[in-house]
């Protein structure tokens, strides 16, 4: 009953096996090996993007911050949702890597930016010449921090607005696989075909040990990115072990299978919770996270049974009236089983 985070889940056994296989021989360091050539080719195939620049880093924060720094100048603004990971959970990494760019925060239901909200933000930023920060780029999180997704059409509507002002678009895809599975689309449809210029192609939250792909659909950014990655301390000498993880991820579409399992677990959990008296969803369940509210008595029972998850926002107390409803976040992963879900629901019911 571990719903605390998708990052507490173990890695898929195939990933460990790939690591062991990679532990042979003396390939060149720093990604100049055959494994990286293969991955580059596989990712270009998967994304139908034969010219894409493809890199691997080990953390989502590194992927996001390095992409942002590559796409904009220090005096520019990144437009993002107020709840975006780059704003709330990276301790200012975007500001650090960009040399002091500004994040302009956009509000919106269920952690999603609407076209109107984006237009409004664009119209009030960078309009005073040299005095204010300039408009730089748009960053979308998909799946969002609230377990919702943007469809390719929704992405396209936003990138069109950004591109009209000459702004490139980044997608923080820490949970990209979950979004693609939920949308029933291809990776290409969710990204460059919908106007996305660069993607953080998440693996860590979806069954890997610690690897995120970085994809620039326009390869002109490649060399700058490589320098920034090295300078940030994110170029691995024994790069083959990052490559091994990504190979396992790509082989047989393991990335899709794991996201499918995680999303299905979330659906089962979401539906189950709605059968509990007094329960309701805070956000629609579209990817691998369930954001729901139910009476305190159920939380008390779940915690007593050893369940792990967070009140959301954090800080609620188990002490108080039994029937007061308290919101929580429940994250599922590739390894969440039907039994895990059912045991958890049973625990809440008591």
Restricting to residues 13-42, name those near a second copy by CB under 8 A.
13, 16, 19-20, 23-30
Instruction: Work out which of 42, 44, 74, 325 binds a second copy, going by CB under 8 A.
Output: 74
What gap in Å lies between CA 257 and CA 345, rounded to an integer? Answer: 24
The footprint of a second copy on residues 119-138 (CB under 8 A) is 127-128, 130-134
Strands, E, within the chain: which ranges? 53-57, 76-81, 102-106, 134-141, 169-173, 198-202, 212-216, 280-281, 289-295, 310-311, 325-331
Residues in 249-278 at the binding interface with a second copy, rule: CB under 8 A: none
Q: Classify 151 as helix, strand or coil.
A: coil
Residue 210 binding a second copy, by CB under 8 A: yes
To the nearest whole angstrom, how small is the minimum distance from the Cβ of residue 152 to a second copy? 28
Two tokens, residue 271: 């539906």
DSSP 297: H
Q: Supply the minimum distance, in Å, between the C-beta of residue 257 and a second copy.
A: 18
For residues 216 and 192, is the Cβ–Cβ distance under 8 A? no
Q: What contacts 339, CB < 8 A, 6 or more positions away?
A: none
Residue closer to a second copy, measured from CB, 59 or 186: 59
Which one of the spans 84-92, 110-118, 276-284, 288-296 is the region binding a second copy (CB under 8 A)? Answer: 84-92
Of 189, 89, 184, residue with least CA distance to 144? 89
We find the least distance from the C-beta atom of residue 48 to a second copy, in angstroms, to be 28
- Residues numbered 307 to 326 that lie near a second copy (CB under 8 A) are 308, 314-315
Secondary structure of residue 308 in the 3-state scheme: strand
Single residue of 115, 231, 306, 337 touching a second copy by CB under 8 A: 231
Q: Residue 174 CB, nearest distance to a second copy (Å)?
A: 10
Q: Of residues 170-189, which lie at the interface with a second copy (CB under 8 A)?
A: none
Cα angle for residues 35, 207, 215 (degrees, 5° grid): 50
Q: Which of 166, 184, 233, 321 binds a second copy (CB under 8 A)?
A: 233
Stretch that binds a second copy, among 34-42, 51-59, 177-185, 286-294 (CB under 8 A): 51-59
The minimum distance between CB 317 and a second copy, in angstroms, equals 15
Provide Rg for the chain, Cα atoms: 21
**Which range in 65-73, 250-258, 276-284, 298-306 contacts a second copy by CB under 8 A?**
65-73
Distance in angstroms (rounded) separating the CA atoms of residues 182 and 105: 26
Q: Considering only residues 55, 241, 294, 312, which one is a binding residue for a second copy as defined by CB under 8 A?
A: 241
Q: Output the six-digit token pair for 31.
A: 């990604």
Of residues 87 through 106, those in contact with a second copy by CB under 8 A are: 88-93, 95-103
Name 28's Cβ contacts closer than 8 Å, sequence gap at least 6.
none
């Amino acid at each position: 009953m571990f719903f605390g985070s998708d990052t507490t889940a173990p890695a898929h056994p195939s990933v460990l096996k790939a690591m062991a296989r990679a532990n042979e021989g003396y390939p060149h360091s720093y990604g100049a090996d055959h494994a990286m050539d293969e991955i580059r080719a596989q990712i270009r195939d998967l994304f139908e993007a034969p010219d894409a620049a493809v890199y691997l880093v080990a953390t989502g924060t590194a992927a996001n911050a390095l992409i942002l720094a590559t796409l904009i100048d220090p005096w520019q603004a990144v437009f993002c949702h107020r709840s975006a990971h780059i704003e709330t959970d990276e301790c200012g990494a975007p500001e650090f890597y960009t040399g002091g760019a500004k994040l302009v925060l956009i509000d919106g239901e269920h952690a999603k930016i609407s076209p109107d909200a984006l237009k409004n933000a664009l119209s009030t930023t960078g309009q005073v010449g040299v005095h204010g920060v300039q408009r730089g780029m748009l960053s979308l999180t998909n799946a969002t921090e609230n377990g919702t997704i943007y469809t390719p059409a929704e992405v396209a509507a936003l990138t069109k607005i950004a591109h009209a002002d000459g702004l490139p678009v980044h997608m923080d895809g820490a949970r990209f696989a979950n979004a693609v599975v939920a949308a029933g689309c291809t990776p290409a449809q969710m990204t460059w075909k919908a106007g996305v210029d660069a993607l953080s192609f998440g693996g860590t939250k979806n069954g890997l040990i610690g690897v995120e792909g970085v994809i620039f659909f326009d390869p002109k950014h490649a060399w700058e990115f490589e320098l920034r990655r090295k300078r940030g301390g994110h170029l691995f000498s024994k790069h083959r072990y990052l490559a091994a993880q990504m190979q396992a991820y790509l082989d047989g579409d393991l990335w899709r299978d794991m996201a499918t399992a995680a999303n299905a677990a979330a659906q089962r959990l979401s539906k189950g919770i709605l059968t509990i008296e007094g329960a309701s969803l805070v956000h629609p369940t579209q990817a691998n996270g369930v954001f729901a509210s139910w009476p305190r008595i159920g939380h008390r029972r779940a915690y007593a049974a050893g369940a792990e998850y967070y009140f959301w926002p954090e800080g609620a107390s188990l002490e108080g009236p039994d029937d007061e409803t308290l919101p929580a976040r429940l994250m599922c992963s590739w390894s969440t089983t039907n039994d895990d879900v059912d045991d958890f629901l049973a625990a809440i019911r008591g």
